[in-house]
A and B are shown apart, each in its own frame.
Chain A
């Protein structure tokens, strides 16, 4: 049977992608960000996942206001890097895993989460920047990826609780898949940041530190945090952090197993407008 071996959490900032693509990684400003991922790149190579289930958000790229799915599961064979207005990032195309993705769709919908199934979707920096941070600049991404897009553009995003419970349903789906696949689940976006209005530039290090602590030690309690706390304390775009709870809900300890090992933790301010947070949790 397939199993979830680990979860990865990271911010996604478009400027990180630009720094990589434009060869600015040696600049001290960016060195401070990328050094937090040196461990992670080696770790990912050693782990050799068969599939990554990647929870991310679209930024008015694949989804305009014509359609706003709350949860969209990518079931296609491949997904192209999007042109977000600056031209597509020069990164490999994303190879999907239609068979596992379709299995997850069927299982999770029967588990009462009404997913939107997407067979055609370009993926923006929300998906490709986490891959770049974790993989560097390879010719191809290391394994197939199942993109899972969460609406955090138009308020309300799904609640933290809903995301956490969905993570549990995704876990049940993956564990009922017949092939013995090593699956990782990633939660991306955040941490504190605000991109709009006179309060733009907001960073709340205390909130972020507490969030990282609680994500490890008290995910159940953290999942009950209301939207307004994210907005007020972590900035209007800090609400992306609810996506981390999907990945956390899929881990062993919150489904009757043992606590995870914290393999890596990193926090840095700033990358452009944003606080960068990163965690790796391994199941035991």
Chain B
């Protein structure tokens, strides 16, 4: 009997459940380490060397180096943890969220000012817009 995961058909959305958390443990704990100023400095000085101190997969390290947040999430990252990378880079939450949508920063900001992304057509994968 497998667990019911009714959220699997929500488009463009990865739910950070126990399974994802297990896969992303070291990635997220690396992010957590960036809450300390001295760690942020060490990371910025040599990102690759700092990442190598963590038991992350190579894919996870590459996704962090590329600042590919969608890929990070696919590999078990959680946005509240990944936000620490953004903070280290001096990015706002809106810049981070926007970077995952394929829109420019300006397009994303304008969409939000215009009332945000519509729910219509965004409830289920394959739904007609």
CA distance A219 to B6 in the complex (A): 24
Given known pairs A85-B83, A202-B122, the reply for A197 and B12 (CB within 8 Å) is yes
A65 contacts the other chain (CB 8 A): yes
Chain B 87-129 interface mask (CB, 8 Å, partner A; 1/0): 1100011101110111000001001110111110011100000
Given contacts A83-B35, A272-B94, contact A197 B70 (CB under 8 A): yes
Q: What residue of chain B has the Cβ atom nearest to residue A197's Cβ? A: B12
- B66 contacts chain A at the CB level, 8 A cutoff: no
Q: Is A197 in contact with B14, judged by CB distance below 8 angstroms?
A: yes
Known: A155-B16, A196-B79, A201-B117. A228 touches B7 (CB 8 A): yes
B73 touches A197 (CB 8 A): yes
* Complex partner residue of A153 from B80, B116, B118, CB under 8 angstroms: B80
How many angstroms between the C-alpha atoms of A83 and B23 in the bound complex?
Answer: 26
Question: Is there contact, CB below 8 Å, between A15 and B10?
Answer: no
Are B93 and A14 in contact, CB atoms less than 8 angstroms apart?
A: yes
Smallest CB-CB separation from A239: which chain B residue?
B15
The answer to whether A85 touches B93 (Cβ under 8 A) is no
Instruction: Report the Cα distance A272→B34, complex, angstroms.
Output: 23
Query: Interface size on B (CB < 8 Å)?
Result: 54
Which of A102-110, A137-145, A175-183, A229-237 is near enough to bind chain B? Answer: A229-237
With A15-B92, A199-B13 known to touch, is A65 a contact of B29 (CB < 8 Å)? yes
Given contacts A84-B87, A198-B100, A231-B10, 19 further A-B contacts (CB under 8 A): A60-B78, A60-B80, A64-B81, A66-B29, A85-B83, A153-B80, A155-B17, A195-B96, A198-B101, A199-B10, A200-B98, A228-B6, A231-B13, A231-B15, A233-B119, A233-B123, A236-B14, A269-B115, A275-B116
Residues of B within 8 A of A (CB): 6-7, 10-18, 21, 25, 28-29, 31-32, 34-35, 37, 40, 69-70, 73, 78-81, 83-84, 86-88, 92-94, 96-98, 100-102, 108, 111-113, 115-119, 122-124
Q: Pull 20 A–B residue pairs with CB atoms less than 8 Å apart, ordered by A.
A: A60-B78, A64-B32, A65-B25, A66-B29, A84-B35, A85-B83, A85-B88, A155-B7, A155-B17, A195-B96, A197-B13, A197-B14, A200-B101, A201-B111, A203-B117, A203-B119, A227-B7, A237-B79, A269-B115, A272-B92
